[in-house]
Amino acid sequence: MALQRNFVHFLILSLSVSVITVSSNGIIDSVIHRFKYRKELVFPDAVVSVTKWCGKVSRAKDFQDLGKAPETDRCCRQLVQCEDVIAPLTYKYGVYNDKKYFAIDCNCTQKFRACLRNIKSLEKGISYKLGNEYFHQFRPDCFLKTYKMVPGIHVYYDKSENRYTTNEGGKYFMVRLTKVEKWM
């Protein structure tokens, strides 16, 4: 546990500034509220200095602003922008996230893993270190959506969190929290 704390930072990203420059109509307040407490993700200290999206707070001035490890930064930016998350200490889709960081849709964490693994440039060492520390040492929770009928499950959801007692034609899903797969 102490080893984990040495390697990780919590990332709380607020996209409010970017949103305000793009939006000029009456929905700014709701957009700002949506992104105010964006996501707490975990990234190792070593990566923070060469990236702008993989740190305690985003240092990026805008969406295109990347650090000295731009390929790794793109991967972190992609993860940070995952739309479907379960906020810390809250319920969503009938699942309680008891952690102090966001649980992210497992599809997003898989894309993050693939992005890091696909880096072939001189950044490969940076992306490998980040991937190892995120997926192997920290191993945060992500959540899986299952669209199939599951025996004994009588509550399904849609993306608006409406509840259904049946899964008509597989268009609704159930959710379960799981640990991300290990890096190795």
In single-letter form, the type of residue at position 43 comes to F
Surface-to-core class of residue 36, CB atoms within 10 Å of its CB (0-12 exposed, 13-18 middle, 19+ buried): exposed
3-state helix, strand, coil in the chain (%, to 5): 35, 20, 45
CA geometry: angle at 63 spanning 61 and 66, to 5°? 70
CA geometry: angle at 116 spanning 112 and 120, to 5°? 150
Task: Walk me through the domains of the chain, giving residue ranges and CATH numbers.
Answer: 32-140 (1.20.90.10)
Spell out the per-residue pLDDT of the chain, length 184, in tens. Answer: 333 333 233 232 222 222 322 333 333 333 333 333 444 555 655 566 788 888 766 788 899 999 999 999 999 999 988 989 999 999 999 999 998 888 999 999 999 999 999 999 999 999 999 998 889 888 889 999 988 877 777 889 998 999 998 887 888 999 989 898 888 6
